[in-house]
């Protein structure tokens, strides 16, 4: 149990991701979490009205199991296996966040400003951000995990372009938009 609760070296995690990707390629599958949103919508029958959701979601049942497993794994990790002392946030990041009114998450994984008594503005920002991420991942034809892990391992040029766009968007958000949002 102690091995599971410790931070693993990046090479072990990277190797395991590589093994999973080889298995998916062998079985002719592609990995991505945002495609599960399309599957969930297709399950409702909305495909009769919106052609984007008119597809065989049953062929993607395995990916729904992956998403469900990720949620269960996250729950187990946070409630039974995590050790917050393993989370090391760069002091410069803590300093920059404090200028925006976000304190360091002392003994937690998420800053108090986002989870304890969030303001209506914070709730709107989180909901709006989630909707934009959902829309953006579908517009880009996949999410960061789908493009960066699956698409790049298959040497797909559109995935390389998407990953470059994700990084540029993240840098713009972190360095320009986030200070505007929280200092407004």
Taking Cα atoms as reference points, which of 33, 9, 31, 34 lies closest to residue 19? 31
- The DSSP code sequence of 139-175 is HTTS-HIIIIIIIHHTT-HHHHHHHHHHHHHHHHIII
**How many Cβ atoms sit within 10 Å of the Cβ of residue 58?**
10
**Apex CA 86: angle with CA 5 and CA 15, to 5°?**
60
Handedness of CA 26, 31, 36, 37 (dihedral sign): negative
Q: What is the pTM of this model?
A: 0.68
Q: Which helix (H) or strand (E) holds 71?
A: helix 61-76
Q: Write down the domain spans for the chain.
A: 1-82
pLDDT tens digit at each of 184 positions of the chain: 677 667 778 888 889 888 988 888 888 887 778 888 888 888 888 888 988 888 888 888 888 888 899 899 888 887 877 666 667 788 888 888 888 778 877 777 777 777 777 788 888 888 998 888 888 887 788 888 888 888 888 889 999 999 999 899 999 988 898 888 877 6
């Amino acid at each position: 149990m102690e091995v599971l609760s410790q931070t693993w070296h990046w090479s072990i995690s990277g190797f395991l991701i590589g093994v999973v990707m080889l298995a998916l390629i062998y079985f002719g599958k592609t990995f991505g979490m945002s495609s599960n949103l399309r599957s969930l919508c297709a399950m409702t029958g909305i495909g009769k009205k919106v052609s984007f959701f008119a597809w065989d979601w049953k062929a993607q049942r395995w990916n729904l199991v992956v998403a469900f497993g990720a949620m269960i794994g996250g729950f187990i990790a946070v409630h039974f296996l995590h050790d917050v002392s393993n989370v090391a946030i760069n002091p410069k990041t803590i300093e920059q966040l404090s200028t925006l009114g976000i304190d360091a998450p002392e003994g937690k994984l998420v800053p108090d400003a986002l989870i304890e008594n969030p303001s209506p503005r914070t709730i709107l920002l989180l909901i709006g951000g989630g909707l934009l991420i959902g829309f953006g991942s579908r517009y880009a034809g996949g999410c960061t995990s789908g493009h960066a892990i699956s698409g790049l391992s298959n040497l797909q040029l559109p995935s390389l372009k998407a990953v470059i766009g994700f990084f540029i968007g993240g840098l713009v958000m972190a360095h320009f938009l986030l200070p505007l949002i929280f200092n407004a």
